[in-house]
Amino acid sequence: MVLDPKSSFHISTSSGVPIYRQIMDQVKIHIVSGRLKGEDFLPSVRQVAKEIEVNPMTVSKAYSLLESAGVIETVRGQGMRVKFSAEPGADLKDRQEEVLPFVKEMIKKAKQLSLTKEEILDAIRSRWED
């Protein structure tokens, strides 16, 4: 499967998070969620840059950082491919890792508001099914 850049990457320019980081994070999320599997190809730098309207250098920076992190690899003449070993698919730990920043943020807020653990878990439970 090849990812469609337009529907796969959502870039926010006002968040202050560098765009290459947003691309890296979103590639990782697609891998962790199983949407991208080992040996799947990523869309080319040019394609992504044009579709999501960002600078090609930004996309290639995200890709090369993902490559040095061992998440994807270059296949000569064909592009960037998700590494087989990088496929965590069902790995609970990796998926939890992705929500960790939000969890931390929530805990911080909860403590500021002096909510207890039980109270914050209740809030999660009551909204989980929505």
Which residues bind to another protein, rule: CB under 8 A?
11, 13-20, 45-46, 49-50, 53-58, 61, 107-108, 111-112
Closest to another protein by CB, 27 or 54: 54
Report in angstroms how near the CB of residue 89 gets to another protein at its nearest.
31
Q: Tell me how far, at minimum, the Cβ of 112 lies from another protein, in Å.
A: 7
Closer by beta carbon to another protein, 10 or else 127: 10
CB-wise, 30 or 61, nearer to another protein? 61
Beta-carbon contacts of residue 37 (< 8 Å; ≥ 6 apart): 1, 31, 82, 87, 89
